Every structure is written in C-alpha cells, then in structure tokens.
C-alpha cells in the first residue's frame, strides 16, 4: 500500500472534511423521521459500507438500465462533453461512489485536480485509492461530506471548476431541493454536468426498482439493519417488505418499507407502533423530461443547457453553464473556461 501511494500523486483527505456523517445527526434524523405521521427516513443513510456495496450490485443488474445508459451516452458524446467542460479543469464530483463514470471523464479531461465528494467514507476512499493507482499523474482530494449543505471545497483560483453530478442522484432530491442544490453549486463552478434519468414507460421504471434477484429490496432493508447496528434499534427485518412503485403525478419512483404485521420497534427510550400495512417512506427517485429539467436549471440561474442522451432516450446528461455576466452580477469571480 505504502509503495503504491509513493508511486501515485498525493491522495489527501481534505481538511475539515468530516462533515458528511455524524452519529448524533443520524440518530436525530431517524428519531424525527419515525415520529412523523408518515414515517420516513432520509435516503442519504442508505450508504454505509454494506449499502454502498449493494448499490454497486444494483448498477450491474439487468433491470437497472440507468448506469449502462449513462455510461453509453457519455462514451457516445465524450468529445462534446470534454469541449464543454474544458481540459485541465478542476473536476468536482458529488456522490462519486465507486467512481465508475469518473474514469472515462478523467481519462479524457485530464483535470488539474479531482475532488470526489461522498457521504460514504468507505466507498469514497476505496474509489480514490483505486483511481490513484490507475491515474498516477492525477491530484485527488477526496472530501467526505453531505452535498445537501454548503461544503468547504478548496479549489484553486484561476483554474476553471466543473461540477460533475452523475447517476441521477439529483433525482433523489425533491425538485425544490434540486433547485437549491443547483443554485448553491453556482458558487462552486460556472459549469456543471448533471446526469438525469428521463421519464419513460412506467413498466421499465417499475422493473428497475423491483429486480428479480431482490438486490434493491436488500438495499432498502439494509437501512433498518444499519439503524440496528449503529443505533441499537430492534427492527425485525422479516416484518418489513420492500415496496417500490412509479407515481406518475409527481413523476417519481417511491420506495417504502411496509410493515407486514402490527408491532412495536424500540430505539433507546423511543417506541414506535407499526400497524400492519403501514409504510416507512425511504426514497424518492424523480424522473424528468428534458424540457422539465432544463426549466428547473434555468430557474436555478443557469443560462444555457446542452443535452446529451443515449440512443434509446432513457437517460440524459445536461451541460449547464452560468454566464460570466451573471456571475459578475451575483458578485462571483469569473471561472468558466474561455
Ligand atoms: N455517482 C455514482 C454513485 C451514485 S449512488 C454513480 O453514478 O453510479 C449515490 C451516491 O451519492 C452514493 O455514493 C452515496 O453515498 C452518495 N450520497 C447520497 N446522498 C449524499 C449526500 N447527501 N451527500 C453526499 N453524498 C451522498
Ligand atoms: C443513487 N440513486 C440515483 C439511485 C436511484 O436510482 O434513485 C438509488 C437507488 N434506489 C434504488 N435503486 C437505486
């Protein structure tokens, strides 16, 4: 390991980068979420080490077309994407996970620095180590953090920054949260590449979140297992069933864990009664039309949007730019590539 590290460019975990996960924040969010009339848990807690491994398996499932479609479209439009982002930029990736898509972009963009950001320290550091081996010339500055809050991202002045947010992770935010996220990102970079899952036949969507091998079910149930492991709750996983469906009015997949019988769950001095059939809402995964997403980006202050899609129109990557004129009006320094 030490020898590998010496051969590669330095891999530094950015200072003050422990803002991702805090056990007290986790406990507070679980207690607050389970105490709501519609019990719910924030999806960012899916990603402990076991959850990140399960997500990596989801990406390889035949039903989960998202990863393959985004990889195919990135390959197909790589030259245009690189022209848009600009070689030698500072590449900041939110929710980088395993870094599957990052490789292709890093190889083509040769960024001056790569800042992968993820709440899952295990997944982040494993991916950063593997990228450091693969790209010994690359400066990697991983940051453990929660992207729904402002983060202290140290970027060099004078080198354009580009935010990369693949995987349709933006779909796990409610549209108003996505708006806030995009708006906040304008302070970090003048250009963004965002991967978004598109609206389509609900049967395909349904299958992607109800795979035959039951990996998505295991991913969903792992949230309860994690609450037991880390917070000492007594969820009995056999008493809950994974339930996911497409809700066309808001345009989202909803994931729930439905109680199969009446029972009580304990966490410290807290007790929650579950009626048979009662659900914990664990995730939304919003699907957009291309126009719908461009309109959202425009409302969040991005002036122009390029759209790249795969041949079947399943998935899109949007290239969003925030003009220098707008940046000046907002009191931000010009950072977009010439
Ligand atoms: N970008 C990868 C992984 C997507 S999975 C891909 O396209 O395949 C979503 C990733 O976002 C996970 O690695 C998860 O740990 C991370 N994540 C989820 N919520 C987060 C949050 N609030 N802050 C930071 N990272 C988050
Ligand atoms: C990370 N995110 C975009 C995934 C999705 O498709 O919403 C998480 C996931 N949930 C179930 N399967 C995959």
Q: How confident is the model at residue 234 (pLDDT cuts 50, 70, 90)?
A: very high
Q: How confident is the model at residue 14 (pLDDT cuts 50, 70, 90)?
A: low
- Predicted pLDDT of residue 306: 96
Q: Which ligand is nearest to the CA of 56?
A: 1
Distance 118 CA to ligand 1 centre (A): 6
Q: How confident is the model at residue 6 (pLDDT cuts 50, 70, 90)?
A: very low
Distance 200 CA to ligand 2 centre (A): 16
Q: What is the pLDDT of residues 38-60, one digit of tens each?
A: 999 999 999 999 999 999 999 99
Question: Hey, what's the torsion of the CAs at 82, 84, 86, 89, to 10 degrees?
Answer: -100
- Predicted pLDDT of residue 4: 34
Q: Are 130 and 31 in contact (CB under 8 A)?
A: no
- Predicted pLDDT of residue 180: 96
Q: How confident is the model at residue 324 (pLDDT cuts 50, 70, 90)?
A: low
Ligand 2 pocket residue status of 47, Cβ below 6 Å: no
Ligand 1 pocket residue status of 96, Cβ below 6 Å: yes
Distance 139 CA to ligand 1 centre (A): 21
Q: Give CA–CA dist 227/213, Å, rounded.
A: 24
Q: Give CA–CA dist 241/260, Å, rounded.
A: 7
Please state the separation of Cα 245 from the chain's center in Å: 20
The percent of residues in the chain predicted with pLDDT above 70, rounded, is 89
**Closest C-alpha to 244, from 257, 232, 263, 231:** 257
Ligand 1 pocket residue status of 55, Cβ below 6 Å: yes
Distance 97 CA to ligand 1 centre (A): 6
Q: What is the pLDDT of residues 165-201, one digit of tens each?
A: 999 999 999 999 999 999 999 889 999 999 999 999 9
Distance 168 CA to ligand 1 centre (A): 9
Ligand 1 pocket residue status of 56, Cβ below 6 Å: no
Q: Give CA–CA dist 51/123, Å, rounded.
A: 10
The CB density around residue 302, as the number of other CB atoms within 10 Å, is 25
Q: How confident is the model at residue 266 (pLDDT cuts 50, 70, 90)?
A: very high
Atom of ligand 2 nearest to the CA of 244: 11
- Predicted pLDDT of residue 154: 84
Between 21 and 291, the more confident residue is 291
| For ligand 2, mutation pick of 55, 69, 119, 181 (most atoms within 8 Å of CB) | 55
Q: Are 243 and 262 in contact (CB under 8 A)?
A: no
Domain residue ranges in the chain? 38-57+202-286
Specify the residue with its C-alpha closest to ligand 1, atom 7. Answer: 167
Q: What is the pLDDT of residues 50-104, one digit of tens each?
A: 999 999 999 999 999 999 999 999 999 999 999 999 999 999 999 999 888 999 9
Q: Are 280 and 256 in contact (CB under 8 A)?
A: yes
Q: How confident is the model at residue 338 (pLDDT cuts 50, 70, 90)?
A: very low
Specify the residue with its C-alpha closest to ligand 2, atom 9. Answer: 55
DSSP letter at 278 equals -
- Predicted pLDDT of residue 2: 34
- Predicted pLDDT of residue 105: 97
Judging by beta carbons within 10 Å of its beta carbon (0-12, 13-18, 19+), is residue 170 exposed, middle or buried? buried
Mean residue pLDDT of the chain comes to 91
| Range from 198-202, 281-285, 327-331 carrying the lowest mean pLDDT | 327-331
Ligand 2 pocket residue status of 220, Cβ below 6 Å: no
Tokens of residue 90, six digits = 């500072």
């Amino acid at each position: 390991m030490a020898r590998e590290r010496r051969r590669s460019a330095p891999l530094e975990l950015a200072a003050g980068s422990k803002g991702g996960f805090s056990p007290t924040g986790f406990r507070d969010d679980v207690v607050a979420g389970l105490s709501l009339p519609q019990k719910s848990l924030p999806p960012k807690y899916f990603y402990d080490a076991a959850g990140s491994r399960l997500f990596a398996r989801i990406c390889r499932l035949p039903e989960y077309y998202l990863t393959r479609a985004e990889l195919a479209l990135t390959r197909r439009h790589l030259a245009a994407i690189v022209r848009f982002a600009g070689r030698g930029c500072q590449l900041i990736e939110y929710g980088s996970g395993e870094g599957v898509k990052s490789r292709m972009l890093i190889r083509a963009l040769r960024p001056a620095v790569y800042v992968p950001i993820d709440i899952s320290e295990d997944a982040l550091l494993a991916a950063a180590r593997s990228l450091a081996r693969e790209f010994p010339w690359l400066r990697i500055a991983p940051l453990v953090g929660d992207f729904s809050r402002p983060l202290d991202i140290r970027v060099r002045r004078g080198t354009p920054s580009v935010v990369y947010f693949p995987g349709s992770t933006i779909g796990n935010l409610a549209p108003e949260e996505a708006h806030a996220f995009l708006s906040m990102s304008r302070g970090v970079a003048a250009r963004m590449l965002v991967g978004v899952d598109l609206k389509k036949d609900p049967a395909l969507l349904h299958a992607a979140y109800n795979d035959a091998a039951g990996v998505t079910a295991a991913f969903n149930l792992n949230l309860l297992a994690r609450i037991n492991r880390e917070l000492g709750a007594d969820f009995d996983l056999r008493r809950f069933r994974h339930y996911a469906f497409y809700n066309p009015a808001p345009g989202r997949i909803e994931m729930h864990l439905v109680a199969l019988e009446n029972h009580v769950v304990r966490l410290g001095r807290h007790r929650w009664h579950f009626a048979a059939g009662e659900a914990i809402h664990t995730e939304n995964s919003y699907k957009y039309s291309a126009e719908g997403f461009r309109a959202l980006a425009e409302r969040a202050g991005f002036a122009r949007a390029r759209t790249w899609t795969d041949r079947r129109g399943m998935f899109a990557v949007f290239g969003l730019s925030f003009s220098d004129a707008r940046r000046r009006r907002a009191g931000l320094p010009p950072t977009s590539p010439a």
